[in-house]
Amino acid sequence: MSGGGRVLRRRQAQQDVEQAVAWYLEQQSVSVASGFVDSLEQAIAHISRHPAAGSQRHAIELNLPELRAWPLKTYPYLIFYTATDDSIDIWRVLHSHRDIPAWLAPPD
C-alpha cells in the first residue's frame, strides 16, 4: 500500500455524504455544511497519502480484514475504506455514534 492512487467512492458512501450535508444545511448552516465537506476532502487526501493510517477495529468485528476507518476532524464521522496499491475504495461515511457493525454488515 503505497498510497497516492485514485479514490473510488461507492454509491452508498456518496449517499451518506449527501445525507450528512442535507442535515447540516437543515439543522446548522451553509458554513457548517461546507466545513463538513472540507473536512471530508482533507481526510480523503490524508487517506490517499497514508492508506495504512486508518484503524482496523471494525475490520476485526466484521471479519473484513482490509477495512479501515479514518475520522474527520471536528465532525463526528468516520470514513470506511479499503486500499490497494493503486486505489482507495471508500465504502461508507458514517456518524461515529451509529451502530457501525449494523450499518456496515452486508444485507442478508
- What pLDDT is recorded for position 108? 43
More confident residue, 74 or 105: 74
DSSP class of 73: S
Place 97 in a pLDDT band, splitting at 50, 70 and 90.
confident
Q: Is 91 a member of any domain?
A: yes
Pairing assessment for the beta strands 6-9 and 87-95 based on DSSP bridges? parallel
What CATH number is given to the structural domain containing 64?
3.30.2310.20
Q: Is 14 a member of any domain?
A: yes
How many residues in the chain?
108
How many domains does the chain contain in total?
A: 1
Place 61 in a pLDDT band, splitting at 50, 70 and 90.
confident
Highest mean pLDDT: which of 37-51, 52-66, 89-103?
37-51
Domain containing 25 equals 6-104
Task: Kindly report whether the global pTM for this prediction surpasses the value 0.85.
Answer: yes
How far is it, in rounded angstroms, from Cα 54 to Cα 1?
A: 12
Residues 8-27 have pLDDT tens digits of 999 999 999 999 999 999 99
Do 13 and 92 contact (CB within 8 A), yes or no? yes
Closest CA to 12 of 24, 20, 4: 20
DSSP class of 96: T
Q: Is 58 a member of any domain?
A: yes
**Burial letters for 25-34: b for 16+ Cβ neighbours within 10 Å, e otherwise?**
eeeeeeeebe
Q: Is 1 a member of any domain?
A: no
